[in-house]
Structure 1
Amino acid sequence: MSFLPVLKIPAVLLRGGTSKGVFFRLEDLPADCRKPGAARDRLLLRVIGSPDAYGKQIDGLGGATSSTSKVVIASRSARPGHDVDYLFGQVAIDRALVDWSGNCGNLSAAVGPFAIETGLIDAATLPRDGQATVRIWQANIGKTIVARVPMQDGRVLESGDFELDGVTFPGAEIELAFLDPGDDGDGADARAGAGGQGEGAMFPTGRVVDELALPEDLVAAGRLRATLINAGIPTVFVDARALGYTGTEAQESVNGDAAALRRLEAIRAHAALRMGLIDALDEAATRPHTPKLAFVAPPQRYRASSGRIVEAGDIDMLVRALSMGRLHHAMMGTAAVAIGAAAAIPGTVVCEAAGGAPRASVRFGHPSGTLRVGAEAALVDGQWRVTRAVMSRSARVLMEGVVRVPAEILLPSKELP
């Protein structure tokens, strides 16, 4: 049996925030993979090493966690006022699925450095020293992100003293501003063209708090108060105590409980249906990346995964969030945007956990430590609108070169693995 020569595709492995992923320039992908479809998904699955029945992604670049099973496609932007278009794919580990339904806030921090270092932005427009302002069009959700990337001697500066809980080593600080992160439907056409989907209003039910009707085996009395919000990423916030949690849980205490994970996934599916993201409960399995499910609680003392003690007085609230069916080791950047947005709006479950008064900035505790995020909210014509959310991350190139992929994966007759 003969085989085709292996494909060699330019790529860069980057860490952004508490995630890492494989980045591609759109122009470097095989022609059939430059548009949404099965060929693109087959290629990216093979790059990452999915689906892997062993759950390890040994034969790919994925790291066998939701935080490390990610891909990014970037290109020069033809959109006025933007420098680069950014498309994000969350790759399932044990299934042949690439979920394009949302953004990754952590990897958003690496888009600017990647665009600068790979020539997607004209070097003549960049400062030699100081901060480069990179305007990013997030194609999955049809929103603008403004990144301020530190520069030194005409190159991206990666070294620095900015510390981010969940990342072992310090780096240079990159400030991210998510403009108008609350979804009002304006980006629906752009999302559809990029392979994403329109999600509706920031509060899809028109309320800052809803009561979900659930089977009684999921929650006591079959009722669960929840804030359903589209800001940064569709997110479902519930009170930790209603689920039997304290909000101080470590990652292994939740992820080691298979029954709890099944219960939490079922709650997420019911919330997705209520948000209008799916038409039937079983469809939730086809979009595991969104919505996110998070549980919140008032501040209290706990031990972070690094061993450091986080005092109650150091934080405004506690948050634990699930990503791709498992408790996240820190906090997804997009979920942090949702936290900041909800904390700025009175009456939400998040605002209640943070003391009840709306906050322009909130510091919350997560399994790896703490994070601060700010948001600007206003009531406009009877509807809440968040105009801006800001947080800081760091990013670093881990490896650059080419990825090698068996060419057979692109044959038209090839089914998804």
Structure 2
Amino acid sequence: MAFQAQLRIPATYMRGGTSKGVFFNLTDLPAAAQVAGEARDNLLLRVIGSPDPYGKQTDGMGGATSSTSKTVIIAKSSQANHDIDYLFGQVAIDKAVIDWSGNCGNLTSAVGAFAINNGLVESSRIPDNGVVTVRVWQANIEKTILVHVPITNGEVQETGDFELDGVTFPAAEVRLDFVDPADGEGALFPSGNLVDELDVAGIGVLKVTMINAGIPTIFVNAEDIGYKGTELQEAINSDVAALEKLELIRAHGALKMGLINHLNEAQKRQHTPKLAFVAPPSNYLASSGKEVSASEIDLLVRAMSMGKLHHAMMGTAAVAIGTAASIPGTLVNLAAGGGALHAVQFGHPSGTLKVGAESNKVEGDWQVTKVTMSRSARILMEGWVRV
């Protein structure tokens, strides 16, 4: 049998927020994979180790969860007043599918550091000590994100005392500003309503808030689907019937949002929209064993990612949560007590997270100008990935 040598491609394995992914400089990829298409998808699927019928991604860089089955491609920006273009691919574990339909908010916290370390930010903009704002063009959703990267002695500072629930060890704080995060031309609510009725076959009519901010998201009240909002992963991910029910709700929501034309198309669009359920504050025990008190949070949120309950909270979903919370009358806002809210601290399976949003009404339509949150990021390994 003919021997074929492996490809050897420069890559960086990074944690960003509560996710991990393999990062590439666009120009380091083979020529055929520098453009969108089958060659790129096949290469990145093999890097991550998908599709894997065993669900383990043993023969690749993936970690067998939606949070660790991710790829990022960074390039010098083609957009005016931006430093880099950031393209994100969510890799399915057991299917030969990469979903390019949305952003990863968690890995966004790592793209600034990657860009600086790879010489994609002008050296004149990087202080000896301080913070450099990396101007990111998020190519999946065509939006601007400002990543504020701490610098010490002219280099990216990765260590620090900032603690993020869902991440075991402290690190340096990286602040993120999602500028005008609504999809399209500022249209936050695809139906024009803060609350809609969603008729789901076999389940009935559910009240939902459908919003396009950070990532298209469908919010439903936890109690309406039989939950308390305090659930951890094992309570849902081990329940096949529950997963099928939640996916059915997500598919119906995707159809009503106009993201798909037929229900069965949702199977190939797993990354978006997200489905999340909300509830008023309540005491619960986080997955780490940490006690979360109702007095320290404004609401509870649980979110589904790639067909499973997320172990913490997706960064893009946090943008949707913060935005919806700031608009009186949405299900998220009502779960948090209602009224004018400029920031909320919500409880998720790993602990808590604070997110702030600036929204206002313009000519009768709600618009959000900026959503802010803090994450952390660091390089785990750098060198070459073999394919």
TM-score exceeds 0.5: yes
Task: Deviation per CA, 1:228-280: give whole Å up to 9, x if none.
Answer: 00000000000000000000001111101011001100110000000000000
Instruction: Answer yes or no: is the 8 Å Cα contact 2:237–2:243 preserved in 1.
Output: yes
Residue of 343, 352, 375 corresponding to 1:393: 375
Deviation at 1:100, TM superposition (A): 0.2
Task: Deviation per CA, 1:5-52: give whole Å up to 9, x if none.
Answer: 211000000000000100000000011111110110000000000000
Task: Deviation per CA, 1:134-183: give whole Å up to 9, x if none.
Answer: 00000000000001100011110001000000000000000000000112
TM-score by length of 2: 0.99
For residue 164 of structure 1, what is the aligned residue in structure 2?
164
For residue 285 of structure 1, what is the aligned residue in structure 2?
267
1:232 aligns with 2:218: no
For residue 327 of structure 2, what is the aligned residue in structure 1?
345
Residue 79 of structure 1 aligns to a residue whose secondary structure is coil
Residue of 210, 213, 221 corresponding to 2:196: 210
Q: Partners in 2 of 1:274 and 1:112 — Cα distance?
A: 35
1:305 aligns with 2:287: yes
- Kindly report which structure 2 residues correspond to 1:188-267, keeping only aligned pairs within 5 A, or say none: 201-215=187-201, 217-218=202-203, 222-267=204-249
For residue 44 of structure 2, what is the aligned residue in structure 1?
44
Deviation at 1:335, TM superposition (A): 0.1
Deviation at 1:78, TM superposition (A): 2.4
Deviation at 1:313, TM superposition (A): 0.3
Residue 206 of structure 1 aligns to a residue whose secondary structure is coil
For residue 363 of structure 1, what is the aligned residue in structure 2?
345
Residue 135 of structure 1 aligns to a residue whose secondary structure is strand
Number of residue pairs aligned between Structure 1 and Structure 2: 387
Q: Partners in 2 of 1:6 and 1:185 — Cα distance?
A: 45
Q: Partners in 2 of 1:184 and 1:55 — Cα distance?
A: 35
In structure 1, the gaps of 5 or more residues are 187-200, 406-417
Q: Partners in 2 of 1:176 and 1:63 — Cα distance?
A: 25
Q: Partners in 2 of 1:3 and 1:286 — Cα distance?
A: 35
Percentage identity across paired residues of the two chains: 65
Deviation at 1:358, TM superposition (A): 2.8
1:152 aligns with 2:134: no
Deviation at 1:214, TM superposition (A): 1.4
TM-score by length of 1: 0.92
For residue 61 of structure 1, what is the aligned residue in structure 2?
61
Task: Deviation per CA, 1:74-95: give whole Å up to 9, x if none.
Answer: 0011211100100000000000
Q: Partners in 1 of 2:60 and 2:122 — Cα distance?
A: 32
Q: Partners in 2 of 1:249 and 1:209 — Cα distance?
A: 24
Matched to 1:207, the amino acid is N
Residue 67 of structure 1 aligns to a residue whose secondary structure is helix
Residue of 380, 388, 391 corresponding to 2:362: 380
Q: Partners in 1 of 2:114 and 2:310 — Cα distance?
A: 25
Matched to 1:240, the amino acid is A
Deviation at 1:125, TM superposition (A): 2.4
Residue 112 of structure 1 aligns to a residue whose secondary structure is helix
Instruction: Answer yes or no: is the 8 Å Cα contact 2:26–2:75 preserved in 1.
Output: yes
Q: Partners in 2 of 1:33 and 1:117 — Cα distance?
A: 22
1:27 aligns with 2:27: yes
Matched to 1:202, the amino acid is L
Q: Partners in 1 of 2:12 and 2:345 — Cα distance?
A: 32
For residue 96 of structure 2, what is the aligned residue in structure 1?
96
In structure 2, the gaps of 5 or more residues are none
CA root-mean-square deviation: 0.8
1:17 aligns with 2:17: yes
Q: Partners in 1 of 2:83 and 2:235 — Cα distance?
A: 43
Q: Partners in 1 of 2:38 and 2:241 — Cα distance?
A: 33
Instruction: Answer yes or no: is the 8 Å Cα contact 2:200–2:248 preserved in 1.
Output: no
Residue 356 of structure 1 aligns to a residue whose secondary structure is coil
1:83 aligns with 2:83: yes
Moved more, 295-304 or 350-359: 350-359
Q: Partners in 1 of 2:120 and 2:66 — Cα distance?
A: 27
Q: Partners in 2 of 1:122 and 1:145 — Cα distance?
A: 18
Deviation at 1:118, TM superposition (A): 1.3
For residue 191 of structure 1, what is the aligned residue in structure 2?
none
Q: Partners in 2 of 1:297 and 1:68 — Cα distance?
A: 27
Q: Partners in 2 of 1:21 and 1:147 — Cα distance?
A: 18
For residue 140 of structure 2, what is the aligned residue in structure 1?
140
